[in-house]
Amino acid sequence: MNKSSEQTATINWKVEGMTCANCALTISKYLEKEGLKNVKANPVSGEVIFDVVAGNGFEKIEKGIESLGYHVAEKNGISTRKETKEPMNRYLRYVLICAPFTLVLMLHMLESVIHIHWLMNPWVQLGLCLPVYIIGMSYFGKSAVKSIRNGMPNMNVLVAVGATAAFVYSLYGTLTGQAEQYMFYETAATIITLVFLGNYLEDASVMQTQRALNSLAKSQKVMANMIAFDEHHHEQIFQVENNVLRTGDLILIKSGEQIPADSKILWGEATVNEAIITGESLPITKKQKDALIGGSLLVDGTVKAQVTAAAKDSVLANIVNLVKQAQGEKPPMQQMADKISAVFIPLVLIIAGVTFAANWIILKEFTPALMRSIAVLVIACPCAMGLATPAAIAVGLGRAAKNGVLFRNAKSLELFKNITQVVFDKTGTLTTGQFQISDFKFVNSEKAIVNDAASIHHSPLTIDSFKRIAYSLEKYSNHPIARCISEAWKVKDDIRWASIEEIKGLGMKAVSKEGDVYIAGSYKAAEHFTNDETHNVYVLKNDELLGWIDVKDELRAEAKPILTYLHSKNIKTILLSGDRKHKTELIAKELGIDEVIAEQTPEQKLETIAALTAKAPTAMVGDGINDAPALAKATIGISLSDASQVAMQTADVVLMNHGLKNLPLSLGLGRHTFLTIKQNLFWAFFYNIIAIPVAAFGLLTPTFGALVMGLSDVVLAINSVRLFVKKVV
């Protein structure tokens, strides 16, 4: 079997200990070296996604990740832990163990105020520092050694080297009886404790950046009332977890319950809130044969339904997985930060070495030189550069998903900042796709009119008889315009035809039992009888025009406000349609659209979008199969959730609320996420450029440096979390 024919599976693991871009790079390079494809490692969520040939074992890959100093905590959503209770954050656990020893040691720094003679004993200080140092090295030291061994030194190298230098220096003084000049046990303990504290704060704040996605993920796991039948065919209902439900299973959903899986109503009616998917909280009435989306809330009513997709294949699961994959992608701005992060650790080690040598030469004192080099090690923060982009993207994509905007990739968020023109398809995008009869006219003269199924006589054509003929013809067509007419003009005594057929490009053609030929069709059917080609349906009998019918596509309620918003942002609007120019221009005039390009084939639409995109960054909003090529060609393709599957698969962004309502939100989130990324990167670079020289010149202690380093990541996370509440529209 050749490689091209091998089936691949996408694997999603959650890895603990991946706290920065260096960690993500380390894991990515290892997996790529093992031959895995499409590797994405996200330091914010801890997600590691990769493609593997179906059937391959994962033991070697898992052991390899463990050997790098990380731990695989989840495999495709299933925890690898044995305990059922949520474990305490390990950094918090380390802080709680180390803090008492460190706080007692720090009293030594207050010796001028508090005189604790026994604390001045170097052996007491060694005893207090040793547990903290052992715990610190069991984490930082082990991780540092593994990262160096794999050729990708991480941030823990800096912490381990700094803490070890202070500890070994102090131990040397204790063993040689020169403790007074070498007492820096509190420095070693404080560095370890404060970095653990910083990691915990970073973890907590980064978790906040994931809260929108976490709330979606939690909605996937609920209990379901499964319906089964005993040997006597009596209905039995019992509760199961929704992850055991399979396609075809029967379930009972009661008022106030969460819908456990994608399903179809077999019995009953209900009111459903689908805000979890669409961001639209307005309840929707669902009846027999209607689809229910897993994760949405059944507000009122009781239904029996049949499961149409297992939990892992549900709409909600696909959304969560899609957002996770998008978060793991790296937009162009992150590439520069990643390149710098890759060489940052060796660079800081060199700077620390130069700092030590220069200070020793200038000051001619070993101790201050060592303390300054340690301060350089512990204040440097590669995490800030690595987290700048992922943290902002996690929040931006999470807020978007929570509000019914689905980004297929992180790059789209960044591209939104440049959009200067938006192209709209007409039918189904600016309009609902639901046609209504807007006007009709019939020839009021004596014609042979069918009054019932058996008789024909000459009488003036009336409104009722004209409607009856049109309904009797159009009821047999599935065309949207035909359905509109048949629904509006439905009668009980419709005409029974001897024969009827639908002729492509023409319309419906029927023959009555008396041999009369009736047609309800396009202008092509009536072109020999009238020069007016502006109508939708022409009704003829025996090559005589009886009248015509006009329909109009209902405009979406939100279309006008959306166009007004785009104009307020100086974004040019273009209407691109395959419909006739006259009708397209009427809609454009009503909505205030800047430019109209009508009567376009799918091929012409593609060429038009290519030309527009070449001139300026262009977003295309469409919903049909014929829009798919143009959506793919645009700078950003935007589709509606009720669009064709082809259009949804081609688009970069999907608006999940069955309309254009969230288009401004998607534009605003794209721009503000990019702004947040710029702010984060500025802070990350500014912090390191300022902090390292300050430490090198001895203007802060290693203890204070460790505290500031821990807080630098928190600043980025807080700035990113602002995107949750920030006004973006």
**Which residues are catalytically annotated?**
425
> Six-digit token pair at 279?
């961001």
Return the residue matching tokens 């490009």.
Answer: 505
Maximum Cα–Cα distance across the chain: 127
Q: Is 55 exposed, middle or buried (0-12, 13-18, 19+ CB in 10 A)?
A: exposed
Return the residue matching tokens 């420095």.
Answer: 187
Distances 644 to 55, 446, 625 between C-alpha atoms, Å: 33, 46, 6
Could you give the angle at which helices 702-721 and 366-379 cross, rounded to 10 degrees? 10
User: What is the full DSSP assignment across 371-414?
Assistant: HHHHHHHHH--HHHHHHHHHHHHHHHHHHHHHTTEEES-HHHHH
Residues forming a β-bridge with 239:
225
Burial 627-656 (b: 16+ CB within 10 A, else e): bbbbbbbbbbbbbbbebbebbbebbbbbbb
Residue 376 · residue 193 · CB < 8 Å: no
> Six-digit token pair at 438?
């807007």
Return the residue matching tokens 């600043």.
Answer: 715
Residues forming a β-bridge with 250:
227, 306
For 17-70, list the strands marked E by DSSP: 37-41, 47-53
Q: Give the torsion through C-alpha atoms of 608, 613, 615, 618, to 10 deg.
A: 110
Dist CA 552 CA 294 (whole Å):
35
Residue 466 · residue 442 · CB < 8 Å: yes
Instruction: Report the half-sphere exposure of 168 (CA within 13 A, side-chain side).
Output: 9
Could you tell me which of 642, 57, 647 has the C-alpha nearest to residue 633?
Answer: 647
* Element counts in the chain: helices (H) and strands (E): 24, 29
Residue 494 · residue 453 · CB < 8 Å: no
